[in-house]
Amino acid sequence: MTLRSNQVVASRPQAGPLVERLMLLLKQFAGFRASPQIQRKLERIFQNSADLNDFILAVERDATKTELIALVEDLTNHETYFFRERAHLDAMEQIVIPALIQKKKQQGGTKKITLWSAACATGEEAYTLAMLTLNTLLKHGIGIEATPGNITLPPDWKLEVLGTDISRQAVRIAKDALYSSRSEGLSSFRQFPQEYLRFFDEAGPSPARDRKIYRIKPSITRYTRFDLFNLMSLVPPQRDIDVVFCRNVLIYMDIESQKSIIRSLHQSLQSGGSLMLSLVDSMVAPDLFRENRQNRCVIYEKP
Ligand SMILES: C[S@@+](CC[C@H](N)C(=O)[O-])C[C@H]1O[C@@H](n2cnc3c(N)ncnc32)[C@H](O)[C@@H]1O
């Protein structure tokens, strides 16, 4: 078919520039860097460029960013498990928590340890920190374990573990504190040290024979708190944190966003506090921290 010169042709938006425009919105909102994986996911979600165009216009008009939040939910990877990357946890047990115990004792008064799992996904990292810290305090003679898994701290010792994530679904799962173990495959318990099973109760019959459902005991959940938080908000939720874990999230972000987030994590820490990044992350704001290099990980200490 040939077009006559006066025929009006509805111009079809081009997919390439639209994907770039959406990637820019995602970067500004959640820090995401453009990657082939994200691009493929976007292509799967938006069947054609007209849908994509409508979506971008809706997002640009909507101050509450509801649609964008829903898209971020679809794009994020919530892969996590208890006792992930043992190197940091060993460093916590052997170096960071013992040093914190000394520091808090010297300060006197109420001794409060505050930890933050920033980008906690479904909560396994935050609960790991709570179990590990209580167990370590106990080994240092702080607290009693009246029955297996029920550790009570002395009245002058406090522990608070904050878990935050941008994903509403992930935070809801974290709050529920119910986890399924499978005999095979990638369950939350895939690298689980058996001595910590005492911090869980079996939660009724499981729908499948090859798995069990476990609930974290109240003796642990009472020290944990979960909240929605976008790391790109850049104003930290608290400024009195002793240790921040921010692992396996910065790799999805562009360098500028990583730098802004690291600055905000730095603000959240007390002086002398520590930051743990994952083994795959590099420190993009090295001037802010002192590096305490261990065998298999680095503890970034706020001077
Ligand atoms: C792979 S999980 C990491 C979980 C845990 N930290 C670990 O190492 O096992 C990454 C998490 O980062 C969250 N996330 C991605 N962008 C975020 C942002 N801008 N603010 C807060 N959380 C974010 C995702 O929702 C996801 O749950």
Tens-binned pLDDT, residue by residue, of the chain (303 aa): 343 444 444 455 667 789 899 999 999 999 999 998 898 889 889 888 899 999 999 999 988 889 999 999 999 999 999 999 999 999 999 999 999 999 999 999 999 999 999 999 999 999 999 999 999 999 999 999 999 999 999 999 999 999 999 999 999 999 999 999 876 667 999 999 999 999 999 987 767 777 889 999 999 999 999 999 999 998 999 999 999 999 999 999 999 999 999 999 999 999 999 999 998 999 999 999 999 999 899 999 999
pTM for this entry = 0.93
C-alpha–C-alpha distance, residues 210 and 194, integer Å: 18
Cβ-contact 94, 187 below 8 angstroms: no
Output the CA 70–ligand 1 centroid distance in Å: 15
Which residue puts its alpha carbon closest to atom 13 of ligand 1? 119
pLDDT number for residue 9? 44
Please provide the size of the chain in residues. 303
Whether the CB of 88 sits within 6 Å of ligand 1: no
Cβ atoms 125, 191 nearer than 8 A: no
Which residues share a beta bridge with 290? 301
Which amino acid is located at 154 in the chain? P
Give the Å distance between the CA of 13 and the centre of ligand 1.
33
- Residue 130 has a pLDDT of 98
Q: Is residue 245 within a helix (H) or strand (E), and if so which, with residue range?
A: strand 241-246
CB of 221 sitting under 6 A from ligand 1: no
Using the atom order of ligand 1, give the atom closest to the CA of residue 232: 19
